[in-house]
Amino acid sequence: MKTLDYWVYLALTAGKLYMFSIYTDTPFSFGFFLISLSGALVLSSWTLLIGSKKRRWILLSLLALHSTLLISDVWYYRYFDDLLSVQLISSMTQMSDVGGGFMSLIRWTDFFFFADFFVFLAFILVLRKRQKPLPSTSNKKLAGVILASGLVIFAAPLLSSVVKGEPWLSGNAVSDMREYYELGFWGYHGYDLAKGAVSLVRDASPSEQNQALVQEAFAASITENTGEQPNVILVQLESLQSSLIGQEIGGEEVTPYLNKLKNEMLYFPAFHHQTHEGRTSDAEFTINTSLHPLRTGSVYTRYADSTFNSLPETLRDGGYDTAAMHAYEKSFWNRDTVYENIGFSHFFSKEDYPDTEKIGMAINDEDFFLTSIEHMKQLEEPYYSFLVALSSHIPFEMPEDRKQLELPGYEDELVRNYYHSVHYVDGAVESFVNELKAQDMWDDALVIFYGDHDSGLVEAGGEMAKELGVQGTTEQFELFRTVPLWIKPPGLAKGETVETAGGQIDVAPTILEEAGIDQGFMLGTSLLSDTERLTVFRNGSFRKGDLYFEPDLTTAPGSGECYSIESGKKVEDARCEPYIEDALNQLRISDTVIENNGLEYIETQ
Ligand code: GP9
Ligand code: MN
């Protein structure tokens, strides 16, 4: 057969699409296979117009390109549950700095993705003798048929979606994974590339429909409060997840001091991080603006200059001095630009901290906290101090003499080091609180601690999940999403555990309520109010009271599975249904504010 090489190429490329779903444990249906294959047909049909000698090398290059993209997607997916995008190019430099845990994402079996390269190479060498120098007319016809079939298979489901009015096209998919299932592998990457190119030239004003959503949310979110203006001390702790609180390993408490904090602060065990690919920067962003992170990349690097109704700006307008403190390079994650844009009057960064013992990326948390207290004392009262700690950052490197736990039964070095590092941070927080008390900065202040996101070591079936006895979807969800939150309102006499479920998006409204200042446009709700809130995550999943909804990203928005957190069992879909659209709209509103500067278009009477 004259075109045998082409058919072998197609078979190999199709096999790899299936391999991807096995490696990432993502659904693979026949329909999805056809759409992905159609992308490969469109991409490769033209090679049939070329003489077979050249064509084989081109097909070999396409296989290599495909494998490189797939393997990169697999590694990215293992960390973020999402796919690569060209929109991430601006964040690449940041990723190399924080990517200490990158090697843990790579498995030797991943390189099987390149096996077909060698198979095809061997095939080319065998076929070398039977080359046809020029394309024949029948090949031209075949190329036409393949291109046309590719286009038809690709377009048919899209057209059917448009006819059915399914809202997952042109950016409305809300999640990259949903777009991947709608467009297939090549369709996703091709569309992503096109969007990247268009965003360089296009006016980014919001669509009428999305702006109407923002306008409605704006009108609903204005509240009026009056009250005292306490100093606010907000501390973000790196990679601190809720499973640590109260956990004992071999009879030793991992976080002995934090376990006791609920006696003098309000402790929220059902608090969730809502971060996505921007990790620390996403947590900071959501906490300070009450908006969601982006579906791709970090707001800090992609939309640093958009207009936000932020916590620091609102507090500053209300008479507060505002300062951010983080002992790393000030331009990292674009913080210097973002902090200024969202209303921090001061930014204390690496250069404002002493050159004492470094743990991982920066000065150790204890010295960071104690020096930060010195900086706070220089601020005008009332002040808002936002501290971002860093010692427990992946890969959780700890000096040997600071590893104090025995950790019997744990073998994974990364997991062991995680526990050592959070045990260290526990002591650092203790020194911080003791010093605040000693300096008389504790009692009257509003003090808050929370974890920015999970450890990155929570995958189902991994050592951490196994040792914790995590089973089923809801327990896995809680392990991944819950981070501890402690709040001490001014003058709190006694701590307690508050079961209210909420997320990082609710922190700014909580602080503003306590500070007696109007919250303005914010998507969250104060955690000290009785309202049952909808806590939305970036792929459209959500928690509402006892319910947890996991969307089916392989279809248009609307379907998924509804669970009770308490029983861990599936419950009738009807219980989650009323909130599915609200959750997606929350993401759309947030995206419109960030990506299209939606607040600039708000009409006020
Ligand atoms: C460094 C810190 C990194 O400044 O933001 O944390 P990460 O984003 O990797 O969680
Ligand atoms: Mn982080």
How far does the centroid of ligand 1 lie from the alpha carbon of residue 277, in Å? 11
What is the model's pLDDT at position 457?
Answer: 95
Side-by-side strand order, sheet with 232-237: 346-348, 321-325, 383-388, 232-237, 446-451, 485-488, 266-268, 496-497
Name which of 101-115, 408-422, 457-471, 506-520 the model is least confident about: 101-115
In angstroms, the CA 128 to CA 522 distance is 66
Pick the CATH number of 227-528 from 3.40.50.300, 3.40.50.970, 3.40.720.10, 3.30.70.1710: 3.40.720.10
Q: Is 280 annotated as a binding residue?
A: yes
Spatial neighbors of 198 by CB under 8 A, at least 6 apart, are none
Percent of the chain with pLDDT over 90: 80
Name which of 176-185, 193-202, 260-269 the model is least confident about: 193-202
How far does the centroid of ligand 1 lie from the alpha carbon of residue 487, in Å? 23
Q: Burial, 495: exposed, middle or buried (Cβ in 10 Å; 0-12, 13-18, 19+)?
A: middle
**Which carries the bigger pLDDT value, residue 165 or residue 313?**
313
Task: Give nearest CA residue, ligand 1 atom 6.
Answer: 280
Q: Which residues are catalytic?
A: 280
Which tokens in the block code for residue 532? Answer: 């049952």
* Range list of H helices, 202-298: 208-221, 256-260, 279-289
Query: Which of 436, 32, 405 lies closest to 261 in space, CA to CA?
Result: 436
Which tokens in the block code for residue 401? Answer: 């003499």
Q: Is residue 69 helix, strand or coil? A: helix
Which tokens in the block code for residue 312? Answer: 């620091």
How far does the centroid of ligand 1 lie from the alpha carbon of residue 98, in Å? 6
Q: Is 238 annotated as a binding residue?
A: yes
DSSP 389-433: --TT-TT----GGG-----TT---HHHHHHHHHHHHHHHHHHHHH
Percent of the chain with pLDDT over 70: 95
Ligand 1 atom nearest 99 alpha carbon: 9
Cβ < 6 A, ligand 1 pocket:
98, 279-281, 328, 332-333, 361, 390, 393
| Residue boundaries of the structural domains of the chain | 4-199, 227-528
Instruction: With a cut of 60, say whether residue 132 has pLDDT above it.
Output: no
Q: Is 452 annotated as a binding residue?
A: yes
Using alpha carbons only, give the angle 347, 350, 352 rounded to the nearest 5 degrees. 65
Mean pLDDT of the chain: 92
Helices (H) and strands (E) in the chain, counts: 19, 18
The one-letter amino acid at 368: F
